[in-house]
């Protein structure tokens, strides 16, 4: 077998593999034209694609709280989807982020000792989230580690 035959066979198989992957990823569906006077049930594929696309009005809308309810402090949004079982409305809002404006002193968190344990760090959520990174391979945080973390916090 000549080397060019082997090269040609590998190029053909590679191009078939790549083109197959491209065709498999191309899932655009063209709507079929139907006469106005006949009723046709949408296919399952059409129902699924319609269920995955939110309505344009719902994508840009924001939820309003019910009358008498306190106004939300975090932004909320709503999206409506059509499915085979009716309409689905998805409401979402962002969570509260703990403030890092004025972190407590080392002495306040440590309770007067020379180190902050993981249980003591729970009193300040940003430190509790970063405890493993601040402490390194230890189970406590020293005053210098805490001060270095504070410098990089903001």
| pLDDT greater at residue 97 or residue 44 | 97
Closest-CA residue to 78 (of 52, 54, 49, 47): 54
Same domain, yes or no, for 50 and 81? yes
Task: Tell me the residue range of the domain where 52 lies.
Answer: 44-62+75-92
Q: Is residue 120 part of a domain?
A: yes
pLDDT value, residue 26? 66
Q: Residue 136 region, left (φ>0) first, then alpha (ψ -120 to 50), else beta?
A: left
Q: Is residue 23 part of a domain?
A: no
Alpha carbon dihedral 123, 126, 132, 134, in 10-degree steps, equals -100
pTM: 0.40
Same domain, yes or no, for 114 and 141? yes
pLDDT in tens, 121-135: 999 888 998 999 999
Same domain, yes or no, for 81 and 117? no
Same domain, yes or no, for 79 and 111? no
Where would I find the beta strands (DSSP E) of 24-135?
76-83, 86-93, 116-117
Confidence label for 29 from pLDDT (cuts 50, 70 and 90): low
CA–CA dist 108, 127 (Å, integer): 13
Residue 62 has pLDDT above 50, yes or no: no
* The two three-digit tokens of residue 137, written as one number: 């391979």
Q: Is residue 133 part of a domain?
A: yes
Q: Is residue 119 part of a domain?
A: yes
Q: Are 104 and 79 contacting, i.e. CB atoms less than 8 angstroms apart?
A: no
| Residues facing residue 117 across a β-bridge | 140
pLDDT value, residue 74? 59
Residue 50 has pLDDT above 50, yes or no: no
Count of domains for the chain:
2
Same domain, yes or no, for 88 and 48? yes
pLDDT value, residue 100? 67
Same domain, yes or no, for 86 and 121? no
Q: Is residue 99 part of a domain?
A: no
Q: Are 53 and 73 contacting, i.e. CB atoms less than 8 angstroms apart?
A: no
Q: Is residue 138 part of a domain?
A: yes
- Share of residues in the chain with pLDDT > 90 (%): 22
| pLDDT averaged over every residue in the chain | 74
């Amino acid at each position: 077998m000549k080397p060019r035959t082997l090269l040609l066979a590998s190029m053909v198989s590679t191009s078939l593999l790549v083109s197959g992957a491209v065709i498999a990823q191309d899932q655009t569906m063209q709507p079929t034209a139907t006469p106005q006077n006949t009723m046709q049930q949408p296919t399952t594929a059409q129902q699924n694609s319609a269920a995955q696309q939110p309505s344009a009005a719902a994508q840009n809308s924001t939820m309003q709280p019910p009358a008498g309810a306190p106004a939300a402090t975090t932004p909320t949004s709503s999206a409506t989807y059509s499915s085979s079982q009716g309409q689905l409305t998805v409401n979402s809002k962002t969570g509260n982020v703990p403030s890092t404006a004025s972190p407590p002193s080392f002495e306040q968190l440590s309770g007067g000792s020379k180190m902050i344990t993981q249980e003591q760090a729970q009193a300040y959520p940003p430190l509790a989230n970063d405890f493993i990174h601040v402490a390194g391979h230890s189970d406590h945080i020293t005053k210098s580690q805490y001060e270095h973390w504070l410098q990089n916090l903001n």
